[in-house]
Amino acid sequence: MGVPNNPNVNNPMSFLDKLSERVGGFLDEVFLPEDVAHALHKASQAMQREDYDAALRILYRTHAEHPDFHRTHHMIGMCHFHQEKFDEALSAFDRAVEQREEAVSHLYAGLSAEQLGNAHEAQVHFRRGLELSDAAELEFDLLFGLGRVYLAQGRADKAVRELKKAVKARPDQSEATVLLARALLQRSKLDEARKVLERPGARSAGQPALILRGEIEEARGHHGQAREAYDKALEWEPNHLIALIGVARTSLALGDHRRANECSLRALEEADEEQLPEIHTLLGRVNEAVENRQRALECYRNALHLDARRPQAHLGAGRILLERGDAETAREHFQGVLEMGGDDPTMRREALVGFAKANLAGGDLAGARRLIDEVLQEQDKPSPEALHLLGQVALESGDPAEAVVAFEEAVRAAGERRVDAVEADLRRALGELTFDWELPERLDDSTDVVEVLRQLRDFVASDPRIDHFSARVQQMLATLNSPLSVAIVGEFNAGKSTLLNALIGEEVVPMGVLPTTAHTCFIQYGPRKSARVVRKDGEVTEVNLEEAKRQMKTDADDIDHLEYVYPHPDLRSVEFWDTPGFNALEDAHEETASRALEEAEAILWVLDANQALSHSEFEQIEKVPNGRERLLVLLNKIDRLGPADSRGPQVEELVDYVEENASARIAGCFPMTAKEALAHRTAPEDEADAEALADTGFEAFRDFLESRIIERSGRIKTLEIARQLHDLVGDMTEFQRALVDKYDQLGGEAASLRGWLDELADERPEKHAKKEARALEDRFDFVLTGIEREIREALKSRGTWLTRKVLSEEDQTFILDLLSERLDDVLNRSRQTILADVDELEGAVAQRVGPIIQSLPLGDARAMNRRLEGFFDETRMLKLLLEERVYGQLRARATGQIEAAGQRALEEIRNSGQEGPAWRAALRRLLPDTRGHLNRELAAWYEEFFLAACRFSDRVQRDLHLLKLEAEHHFDVSAVLQLASD
């Protein structure tokens, strides 16, 4: 809101006629020569006729003959003043006061300087006039002038002081009363300004009082009452410019755009060049309010063309250009507002927000963030707009977690008001915070599983906190792309190795009555027959098959596993695992076999037909996942039940037994003799007997293995990997829950830290400041006691009893230097006490934050540790400021008082005749006001320290909330878990 021109501020001529009547009696001057007195009398008569040229001719002629009379210079000044030749008038009044200082000459000199815009010179003359003994009759005029000058200088505080005195001297003077109300308005003392306008002296002011009442009500936010006052002012003068602008402005605030536009256009017709920029700005605001943005922009540009220092026009133009996508030009307008400075915090915040939006639109995210931080620091309560903008910057910076927090805070700050744009951005941030899964509807085939695993691989690689799951994902992908793994398991001596050799058609792995298969043997495809012995220390040795057999017997304890390579075409799509028996002599062998049940994709469970499944083996079979798809039970060694043509019933009975107890858990049960099958398969071609091979049961088993297992290996792998995927995602979900719980718990600890700081901040600054002030006063008393002792020593009689007791110049210098030195020492020790207390507080903060940092993952811990280091940097600066703000001022005051009054105090002590209270009183005057200063400045310094500590605590809480939020959304794998569970 602009301050309209006030005739009482810029043109004090309105009361000069009354003034002239009242000051005529002050022009008498004693001992005037008769001819001079006669000339001055004739000049006075000419002035009364307002014939100032005639008066000046007489006065200049008299001045030429008699140049040293004060009254001549004064009357010359009066003539020029009434002719509004204020330069000549001021010169004449200056010559008058050089001849003889009188209040009336200073008054008119001040009025002349005021008209010339020389506020400082006017202030000097008005102030000097008040100091003169003859100023009683002119007191009001001088005070009124001083108040006007102070107000013109922007010193409303001093203007209020002088105008209150003026109104007290002349309560009926309406111009002074109105001007006092205006000064109070400029100091934002709105209620007091209203009360001043209700005084009888202001009621006669008419239109100026009504306009001022409108401005006061407008400043209070009472736009309806303000417009009513402006409307009443228009009743006095329908086209009064200031009243028209006031009605337009308040109508705009009330949403009455038609009236606002009408009054603005009327004001435009009445305005001179000085008021045009404000009216064009107002028209721009009206058009912007009705969304006529093109016309609004034209109005703003017109205003800026006339006066480039129009912050509201810059803001309006910046807003419109930003909407149009011209971020660069908009930024120039917002930057222009900030460069102007000004006292309106609302405009400054709007400029900062607009500047930040322009930077954001232009891609300068760092610049936008810096400006928003500045806005948030200046606001006691963050606005929804600033928080929304903070979230937008965070989102564009790739930090959706921080964006979510900012958007949530913006929604809360908006209260019941709906903020659709914020809520839309919040949904977008939550979407970006969550991993962008593109999952198939089901895991029906390996292609679907591979796609999920690839997304899961990218997911775990996106954050170091979950990259420990990466190996499992990579392993599952490798498994899907590798041959089908078929584990051959069973008790020792069930014929597992024989079965494997029969499948390959050659004795590849060792066979015998001893448990030589002490390790898992992997049989894989390769271009030539060979074996690799992998030892526990990681050494790999490639040997022939015979050497592998030998090392398995001789170096069993050193071997981890063996890999047999064989150029059999079936091994391109399948690899066999020959495992130790369940009933081997060593526990390690059984553990290896059990692990194969978990890890292999298909299982051939080999049983000795003479030792049917035991209860424990049925329990193990029940635990095999997806056994219906991948587990075959082989009843080996049926040749021991008799010849092929007679063992049928026994074999059938064994198969029925297995199927009755395990059919729901297995893919099939096959009786066979692997030994005879191996013999027939390795026999020369001319000796092969197809019928005999069929009697071994091996062919039926192998056909089923190829058609239902090997050819369906993709399905088996899919089922197995899906099972592993379910387990993995379950583990990841548990990890996520634990991480969320941890962040939640740590957030509680950070909140506890803030509560502890709040308790200290409520009582510690004032309490410690008072405590240290008392301690410092006690130390000062001790210092003064020592100084008194030194003075006594210096005042001891020297020579005869007639010798006068004196303090020599050397004694005085020594005592005052000693006092200064000891005061400095006391102040330094006090400062060290405060620093020690703050160090203890810092240590307590670090002690409370330390466990939080130690509980965080490494990356988060490093970030939090940097946050703590930032707090220490801030408090380090505060410690440096402790000397400047608190103790440096005390030290400077003590030094100044000692230098200015030290010798006088010592002289007073010497003249007092005896020591005692008089000595102590004289020395105390050399000390600074310790109690008042520390109670104020040290308490304020402590408050600033706690503000820094609380800001740090808030940032820790915010960081932990961000981490929790990120863990809840970014690490969410519930969609994958649901898919793997179907």
Enter the DSSP assignment of 49. T
Tokens representing 172 are: 């009926």
The tens digit of pLDDT for each residue in 554-604 reads 888 888 888 888 888 778 878 898 887 665 546 666 677 777 777 888 899
Average pLDDT for 401-423: 85
The tens digit of pLDDT for each residue in 47-81 reads 999 999 999 999 999 888 888 888 999 999 999 99
Cβ–Cβ < 8 Å for 601, 630? yes
Is the pTM above the cut of 0.85? no
Cβ–Cβ < 8 Å for 212, 177? no
Cβ–Cβ < 8 Å for 603, 576? no
Cβ–Cβ < 8 Å for 894, 933? no
Cβ–Cβ < 8 Å for 297, 280? no
**474 has a pLDDT exceeding 50:** yes
Average pLDDT for 218-235: 91
- How does residue 314 score in pLDDT terms, banded at 50, 70 and 90? very high
* The predicted structure's pLDDT at residue 21: 39
Query: pLDDT higher for 379 or 729?
Result: 729
**620 has a pLDDT exceeding 90:** no
3-state secondary structure 79-148: HHHHCCCHHHHHHHHHHHHHHCCCHHHHHHHHHHHHHCCCHHHHHHHHHHHHHCHHHHHHHHHHHHHHHH
The angle at the Cα of 928, spanning 922 to 929, to the nearest 5 degrees, equals: 105
Cβ–Cβ < 8 Å for 586, 576? no
CA nearest 121: which of 166, 91, 81, 165? 91
Residue 310 has, within 13 A of its CA and on its CB side, a CA count of 28
The tens digit of pLDDT for each residue in 19-55 reads 443 444 434 444 578 888 888 999 999 999 999 999 9
The CA distances from residue 404 to 159, 738, 949, in Å, are 51, 22, 25
Average pLDDT for 305-310: 92
The CA distances from residue 305 to 241, 280, 319, 687, in Å, are 21, 10, 18, 113
Cβ–Cβ < 8 Å for 422, 384? yes
Q: Which residues contact 746 (CB under 8 A, 6 or more apart)?
A: 852, 855, 856, 960
The tens digit of pLDDT for each residue in 923-966 reads 888 888 888 888 888 999 999 999 999 989 999 998 999 889 88
* The predicted structure's pLDDT at residue 510: 67
The tens digit of pLDDT for each residue in 663-695 reads 888 999 999 999 999 988 887 766 667 778 888
Strand partners for 559: 535
Which backbone phi and psi does 867 adopt, to 5 degrees? Answer: -60, -45
Which backbone phi and psi does 555 adopt, to 5 degrees? Answer: -120, 35
* The predicted structure's pLDDT at residue 837: 92
CA nearest 476: which of 500, 456, 494, 495? 456
Cβ–Cβ < 8 Å for 362, 329? no
Strand partners for 487: 577, 603
User: Cα separation of 453 and 485, whole Å?
Assistant: 19
Average pLDDT for 229-242: 89
The angle at the Cα of 764, spanning 763 to 770, to the nearest 5 degrees, equals: 100
CA nearest 443: which of 811, 80, 821, 982? 982
Enter the DSSP assignment of 558. G
Tokens representing 854 are: 């130690």
* The predicted structure's pLDDT at residue 913: 63
Identity of the amino acid at 758: D
Identity of the amino acid at 219: A
Query: 3-class SS at 524?
Result: strand
User: Cα separation of 473 and 461, whole Å?
Assistant: 11
* The predicted structure's pLDDT at residue 48: 92
Average pLDDT for 411-426: 84
Measured in residues, the chain has a length of 982
Average pLDDT for 703-724: 81
* The predicted structure's pLDDT at residue 222: 93
User: Cα separation of 394 and 381, whole Å?
Assistant: 20
DSSP assignments along 164-198, one per residue: HHHHHH-TT-HHHHHHHHHHHHHTT-HHHHHHHHT
The per-residue b/e assignment along 891-920, b for 16 or more CB within 10 angstroms, e otherwise, is beebeeebeeebbebbebbbeeeeeeeebe
Average pLDDT for 345-365: 91
**14 has a pLDDT exceeding 50:** no
* The predicted structure's pLDDT at residue 914: 67
CA nearest 563: which of 674, 675, 485, 477? 485
Mean pLDDT over all residues of the chain? 86
Cβ–Cβ < 8 Å for 530, 647? no
* Alpha carbon 77 to its chain's center: 64
Which backbone phi and psi does 559 adopt, to 5 degrees? Answer: -95, 135
The CA distances from residue 276 to 237, 281, 965, in Å, are 20, 9, 54
User: Cα separation of 476 and 453, whole Å?
Assistant: 8
* The predicted structure's pLDDT at residue 569: 79
The tens digit of pLDDT for each residue in 761-818 reads 998 899 988 998 899 888 988 988 888 888 888 777 554 444 446 777 888 888 889 9
Average pLDDT for 365-387: 87
The tens digit of pLDDT for each residue in 327-339 reads 999 999 999 999 8
In the block, which residue shows the tokens 């006629």?
Answer: 17
Cβ–Cβ < 8 Å for 87, 79? no
**Positive/negative CA dihedral, 872, 875, 876, 879:** negative
Tokens representing 519 are: 């390790």
Annotation: CATH topology of 482-711? Rossmann fold (3.40.50)
The CA distances from residue 840 to 611, 846, 869, 952, in Å, are 78, 10, 16, 17
User: Cα separation of 58 and 51, whole Å?
Assistant: 11
Cβ–Cβ < 8 Å for 443, 980? yes
The residue ranges of every structural domain in the chain are 7-205, 482-711, 746-969
* The predicted structure's pLDDT at residue 2: 37
CA nearest 507: which of 523, 519, 489, 491? 523
**417 has a pLDDT exceeding 90:** no
Residue 33 has, within 13 A of its CA and on its CB side, a CA count of 11
The per-residue b/e assignment along 354-387, b for 16 or more CB within 10 angstroms, e otherwise, is bbbbbbbbeebbebbbebbebbbeeeeebbbbbb
Tokens representing 207 are: 């239109």
Domain 7-205 has CATH 3.40.50.1370: no
